[in-house]
Amino acid sequence: MRKTIDLQLFYKVFPDIQVKDRQFEAELNQIKDLPVAAALDYWTDAVNSGYIDVTPFVYTKCEYDIFLHLQHYGNELAAECLKRLESFNYDSEIDNKEYGFIAYYLEALHFAGTLTESQKLTCRKLAERMQSQLEDEAHNLLALAK
């Protein structure tokens, strides 16, 4: 709704959200200079929390806001996500916790911008490795590799 009406009017109607938005912006400002690996780690709890009282959810934000924050890392984000995705053993059963991390890194890749040719090759190789267990995720990687 906040994008459909003037922001000042929105805050007038929902002053509590304005307070939470300011708090969220303050937190983002505190972590803006983290290296990409630390930033991914920082948001891991939130993404794997089940929407309990952790940042960004305490500020009435969603996972999308996390990925928008990570977007500025660009190619560094892609490199870190691919490195982390390569660390999983796709030949053994992936448990729910591992799947949560894999989904998180895949989604972050969508916000990393254009991949290098080397990174596209890595996506294709990862897709082959995960195809038998994670078919949809493998297709997502192949789409990113185009």
The per-residue pLDDT string of the chain (146 residues; one tens digit each, 9 = 90 and over) reads: 677 889 899 899 989 888 888 888 888 888 889 999 999 998 887 776 654 555 555 556 667 888 888 999 999 999 999 999 999 999 999 999 899 899 999 999 999 999 999 999 999 999 999 999 999 999 999 999 99
* pLDDT at residue number 2: 73
Q: Give the pLDDT confidence score for residue 44 in this predicted structure.
A: 82
Report which of 129, 122, 113 is spatially closest to residue 145, judged by C-alpha positions: 122
Which residue from 110, 60, 62 is spatially nearest to 82, judged by alpha carbons? 110
- Answer yes or no: are the C-beta atoms of 127 and 141 closer than 8 Å: yes
The predicted pLDDT at position 55 comes to: 54
Q: Provide the pLDDT for residue 92.
A: 93
Given a contact cutoff of 8 angstroms between Cβ atoms, the answer to whether 108 and 81 are in contact is yes
pTM passes above 0.85: no
Q: Which residue has the tokens 């995720």?
A: 137
CB-count burial class (<10 Å; 0-12, 13-18, 19+) for 98: middle
What per-residue confidence (pLDDT) applies to 75? 96
